[in-house]
Chains A and B, each alone.
Chain A
Amino acid sequence: MTGATTAIAGVGYTDLTRRSGRSVLDLAQEACRRAIDDAGLRAADVDGIASFMLMHDSVPCQAVASALAIPETRFGIDLQLGGQAPCYLVWLAAMAVMTGQADAVVVYRALNGRSGSRVGAMHFAGMGAQYRYPIGYDAYMMYVAMWAQRYLYETGQGALDLGAVATAQRPYAVDNPRAFKSKPLTLEEYLAEPYVVEPFRADDCTVEVDGACAVVVTSLERARDLRHPPAVVASGAYRAGPRPGLDIGDHLLWQDYTRNYTSWLRDDLFSRAGLTPADVQFAEIYDCFTSTVLMGLEGLGLCERGQAGAFVRSGATALDGALPVNTHGGLLSEGYLHGMNTVAEAALQIQGRGGVRQVPHKEVCAVTSGALMDGSSLILTADR
């Protein structure tokens, strides 16, 4: 470890539901309150807040500061981003703590993502929108599918490889009380599903939910005195590769649909941590759709190019495999809190709080946030 000085000290969730019947602020304050309490801190100890939203589907940090009666917010960030944000925000929070700008930062994502504004059907504003929506290229799923198709073609993979991800993650969900989809899934059942947007079937897609999730970032020194073992923030990286387009749905300027942001940030991520892909013991890979798991595994160098599907099919990503992946069942099964819950799951596992899903080797985890042109990643480690 190269002098990591910050950690995730606590995590918090609301229930994940179809219809919360509650305001987004109520969800946000509950998740933040639970995370702060989980860490063994009080709201008065928190002096930083960070969050993200898409098309105003959440509440700004100032609202949470008010709802939690935070005395003063010394560090605050509201990002207009989707699933690219969680690792990035944790890394920004860690940098704020490292540089003395904040002592404890709560990072949250809250939304009525099923009963309210649904990302799956959301029209993203931006200069690129005029070329997509009028022609029926009108759902985020289609953009990820467009990349997946080229990726599968160039790497010689296909439906069995996407299906491998969907079926490999489900057993974790069966053992996860939070998971929205917890019914076992066989490859035969997967293949029998009709296409929604080819190459994706229903079980290639995340499940939209109402809910919120939060984590607390503080100094490693302080975290050592708190309730749970620290999940050390060993490194983080954000990357938008060259020509990332005009808005979140515009990928026309991106050259290579077979390599997403993970390929571009990998070297920064590992060199900052003083680690290599071979050191990673488990991974929580952002999975709004199955293809992003395959692309993330290859992009981070956790398996060879074109081999991700075979890797998953071999059982390597199961709890008893060489590299457990998406140990909460992923966004595919647990629910779509835009990857905030992906980060929280990584922290819980590092802290040894994975329960029946606890990975046997929990020293080094790679986490990702995002699917296409831009995104972010963290390396979390045990304290050592």
Chain B
Amino acid sequence: MPPVPDEESAFYWDGLREHRVVVQRCTTCHAHRFPPMPSCPVCGAIGADKIEVPGQGSVYSWVRVHRAFNEALAAEVPYSIAVVELDEGCRIVARIEQPDAPSPGERVTAMFADHGDWTELRFRPAPSEGP
């Protein structure tokens, strides 16, 4: 079931198609925001710049789905879904590609799963930083 973009979100899905993570940033208070919306949920100002971000963040919370609610995903359980807090401060929900459940605070990095007519943002554990 592909996403149905709306007037606010088309740029986000277009970005993923090109393997780029693009989010809005308030032109007034500079808070990054997700999901896309016409005004800033922090200060209320209208207007946003569209900013490409590196897709680095950490796990805020997670669930592990053991029983698929959608038949099409039955072969993929168990899978993990996390709320990821991007380093820019906004949060995105996405699949986490790793064999075990993630843990809160775990560092993750964006990856892209192409599904024919749309591209899904996923995350995987970030490579540990060198010594």
Contact = CB atoms under 8 A, between A and B. Distances in A.
Contacts of B35: 127-128, 131, 246, 250, 252-253
Contact of A136 (B4, B60, B68, B91): B68
A132 B65 CA distance: 13
B9 to A, nearest CB: 6
B44 to A, nearest CB: 11
Majority secondary structure of chain B interface residues (helix, strand, loop or mixed)? loop
Nearest to B91: A252
Interface residues of B, number: 41
A142 B68 CA distance: 11
Contacts of A149: 61-63, 104
A142 B63 CA distance: 7
A19 interface: no
B103 to A, nearest CB: 9
Nearest to A121: B69
Q: In the complex, which range does the number of interface residues on chain A fall in?
A: 35 or more
B60 A150 contact: yes
B4 A252 contact: no
Nearest to A198: B64
A369 to B, nearest CB: 24
Given A134-B2, A136-B79, A252-B34, A150 B118 contact: no
Interface string A236-251: 0000000100100011
14 contacts: A127-B6, A131-B35, A135-B120, A136-B68, A138-B70, A145-B63, A150-B60, A150-B104, A196-B66, A197-B67, A198-B101, A246-B37, A252-B83, A253-B91
Interface of B: 1-6, 8-9, 33-35, 37, 41-42, 60-70, 73, 76, 78-79, 81, 83, 90-95, 101, 104, 118, 120
